[in-house]
Amino acid sequence: MAKTILIVDDSSSLRSVVGTALKGAGYDVIEAEDGRDALSKLNGQKIHLIISDVNMPNMNGIEFLKASKQIPAYKFTPVIMLTTESAEEKKMQGQAGGAKAWMVKPFQPPQLLNAVSKLVLP
Amino acid sequence: MQNHYDHTAHGNHMPEFRNEEFQQLCQSVLPLWADQILAAKALTSSSIDELSAKFAGLSQSVRAVTSDEGAQSNQQLLELLNLSQEQLATVIVLLKNSIDEKQTLLQAVSTLSSYTKELLDMADIVTRIAKETGMVAVNAAIEAARVGERGRGFAVVADAVKRLSSDAGRTGSHISDTVNRVSLAIKNVSEVSKEFEKKDAQTLVEAEQIVNTVLDKFGHTANEVIQASQHMMNESQHVAQEIDQVLYSLQFQDRVSQMLTHVQQDIEKLNQKVDDPSGIGSVDEWLRELKSTYTMREQTQIHDKRSSAGSSKKTFGAKAAPPPATSNDADDITFF
């Protein structure tokens, strides 16, 4: 059975690009357009990994990261932050929030898939 | 635009704006710039969204066609070819064994002809003994007649011996006829078996040739299929690499959108300050604040390059050109 990955990004083209790379590698994909939308998708369904942008309207990626860790069912779901932000200060915020990796856009699909395969839940 | 500002910078043909007019100009132009940027961003976004969605579908179709099933089919084809070779070779061996067994049977039948002479000799002996016994019987009858009444009993015996010798003679002739017919039949079977032997040998050679020809053609076709499949697999790998590159390139819209958003927000901020220039603060403060909104290295690099050029060189163009879109950011991944 395919593993499910939640993609959180306010750019639909980015969601489409990430989704294409993941589906090509055999993953199922759920999309959310910001942190608030993503929280509504954490409704008990099994999610093996989350890939989230940082700068988004309504609820940004760091806020969503922290909120997701408060939900027992998703406390240990690994999160990759995928963002244009490359400042160390921002990365430290992600690490403090419980992210497992920080990846700077634009990404090369094989590199993203490599990170996903390392972190995705069994 | 560049010439206009260049002329302005050098004081040639410079329109004499008063503060009030400059304020009005800014109030008119800055919202227009912001709107134009917003429209450009929306246009780019919708087009790229559509393009991304179409490409996603295309990519899935390509990946479905170039899946690992091709390699599995090749393996199955090779296995089928090997199995066919083994089974057809077994059929040839069985055919050969069958022909050999038939030859053994026919040779056994042929050896029967060696007994016919023996049988004929035995039949001649029987015939000869019958003739001699008949002669003895005739002599005995003559001698019995000469004795008269006293030889009557002996005459009866002589007559019986004569009948028996006649019967034995006919049986000897019958055995000879039968042996001759059997001998002729065996001879015919032997001749027919030699014809069969030739035909069987020829059939075996032809069967082997047909099997080898079929296997050769099958193998040749299988090789062509495998080569074509291998070529397709190589092409699919190339396509996969191209897909990755397109996925990388399609991300430009997100980056462009963010850059335009920051510029748009700064123009709107400037527009708000036009009414009240006293609260605008220093240029350095403005620039620092602007820089703090950046999320990408390119933005910071452009900003720093422009700032280091100095305030006296407010030209537009190549000096402020952004770094290539495929800059080093792609190498950045940090695991915590």
pLDDT exceeds 60 at position B237: yes
b/e map of A87-100 (b: 16 or more CB within 10 Å)? eeebbebbbebbbb
Query: Domain range holding B217?
Result: 74-225
pLDDT exceeds 50 at position B6: no
Structure ipTM over 0.85, yes or no:
yes
Q: How far is residue B310's CA from residue B301's CA, in Å, rounded to a whole number?
A: 15
Whether residues A115 and B335 touch (CB distance < 8 A) is answered with yes
B contact test, residue of A12, A15, A18, A20 with most B CBs within 10 A = A20
Token output for B112 = 């029967």
Provide CB contacts within 8 A for B44, sequence distance 6+. Answer: B253, B256, B257
What's the pLDDT score for residue B7?
A: 42
B50 → chain A, closest CA residue: A13
CB pairs under 8 A between A and B: 113
Q: Look at the block and give the residue holding tokens 């590199």.
A: A111
A62 min Cα distance to partner chain B (Å): 14
Beta-strand pair A4-8/A101-104: unpaired
pTM of the model: 0.62
What's the pLDDT score for residue B326?
A: 43
Q: Is residue B15 domain-resident? A: no
What backbone phi and psi angles, to 5 degrees, belong to B272? Answer: -65, -30
Provide CB contacts within 8 A for A6, sequence distance 6+. Answer: A29, A30, A31, A32, A38, A41, A42, A47, A49, A50, A51
Q: Is residue B283 domain-resident? A: no
Q: How far is residue B25's CA from residue B4's CA, in Å, rounded to a whole number?
A: 15
Q: How far is residue B224's CA from residue B222's CA, in Å, rounded to a whole number?
A: 5
Give kind and range of the element (H or E) at residue B335. strand B333-335
Is residue A9 classed as helix, strand or coil in its secondary structure? Answer: coil
Q: Is the dihedral of CA B317, B318, B320, B325 positive or negative?
A: positive
Q: Is residue B148 domain-resident? A: yes
Q: How far is residue B180's CA from residue B182's CA, in Å, rounded to a whole number?
A: 6
B contact test, residue of A105, A107, A113, A114 with most B CBs within 10 A = A105
Q: Is the dihedral of CA A31, A32, A38, A44 positive or negative?
A: negative
Specify the CATH number for the domain of residue B131: 1.10.287.950
Token output for B211 = 């099997």
Q: Is residue B167 domain-resident? A: yes
Cβ-nearest to A86 among B52, B243, B329: B329
Work out the pLDDT band at B69, boundaries 50, 70, 90. Answer: low
Q: Is residue B53 domain-resident? A: no
What's the pLDDT score for residue B5?
A: 38
pLDDT tens by residue, B160-216 = 988 999 998 898 899 889 988 988 888 888 888 888 888 888 888 888 888 888 888
What's the pLDDT score for residue B1?
A: 34
Q: How far is residue B146's CA from residue A118's CA, in Å, rounded to a whole number?
A: 135
Cβ-nearest to B56 among A16, A111, A115: A16
Whether residues A109 and B248 touch (CB distance < 8 A) is answered with yes
pLDDT exceeds 70 at position B20: yes
Q: Look at the block and give the residue holding tokens 């015939």.
A: B127
In CATH terms, the fold of domain A4-117 is: Rossmann fold (3.40.50)
Q: Look at the block and give the residue holding tokens 């990261």.
A: A65
pLDDT exceeds 80 at position B9: no
Task: Please provide the DSSP assignment of A18-82 as one string.
Answer: HHHHHHHTT-EEEEESSHHHHHHH-SS---SEEEE-SS-SSS-HHHHHHHHHTSGGGTT--EEEE
Whether residues A104 and B333 touch (CB distance < 8 A) is answered with yes
What's the pLDDT score for residue A18?
A: 93
B242 → chain A, closest CA residue: A109
Going by C-alpha positions, the residue among B300, B255, B254, B270 that lies closest to residue B34 is B270
pLDDT exceeds 50 at position B34: yes
What's the pLDDT score for residue B314?
A: 53
Name the CA radius of gyration of chain B, rounded: 59
What are the chain B neighbours of A13 within 8 Å (beta carbons)? 45, 48-49, 51-52, 250-251, 253-254
Q: Is residue B178 domain-resident? A: yes
**Hey, how many other C-beta atoms are within 10 angstroms of the C-beta on B312?**
6
Q: What percent of chain B has pLDDT over 70?
A: 85
Q: Which residues of A touch B (CB under 8 A)?
A: 9, 11-14, 16-17, 19-21, 23-24, 54-55, 83-86, 91, 94-95, 99-111, 115, 118
**Domain count along chain B:** 1
pLDDT tens by residue, B288-300 = 999 988 888 888 8
Q: Is residue B87 domain-resident? A: yes
Q: What percent of chain B has pLDDT over 90?
A: 7
Token output for A19 = 């989704």
- From first to last of its 122 residues, what are the pLDDT tens digits of chain A? 899 999 999 988 899 889 988 998 899 999 999 999 999 999 999 999 999 999 999 999 999 999 999 999 999 999 999 999 888 899 999 999 999 999 998 898 889 999 999 999 99
Q: How far is residue A51's CA from residue A61's CA, in Å, rounded to a whole number?
A: 10
Length of chain A equals 122
Provide CB contacts within 8 A for B127, sequence distance 6+. Answer: B168, B169, B172, B173, B176
Is residue A84 classed as helix, strand or coil in its secondary structure? Answer: coil
**pLDDT, averaged across chain B:** 80
Token output for B187 = 């001879």
B261 → chain A, closest CA residue: A55
Amino acid identity, position A39 = L
Lowest mean pLDDT among A94-98, A116-120, B63-67, B82-86: B63-67
Contact predicate B16/B25, CB 8 Å: no
Cβ-nearest to B56 among A19, A55, A110: A19
Whether residues B59 and A107 touch (CB distance < 8 A) is answered with no
A79 - beta bridge partners?
A50
Average pLDDT over residues B263-268: 91
What are the chain A neighbours of B253 within 8 Å (beta carbons)? 11, 13-14
Amino acid identity, position A44 = G
Work out the pLDDT band at B4, boundaries 50, 70, 90. Answer: very low
Work out the pLDDT band at B24, boundaries 50, 70, 90. Answer: confident
Give whole-number Cα distances, A26 to A32, A117, B82, in Å: 19, 11, 33
Q: Is residue B238 domain-resident? A: no
A38 min Cα distance to partner chain B (Å): 19
DSSP category for residue B324: P
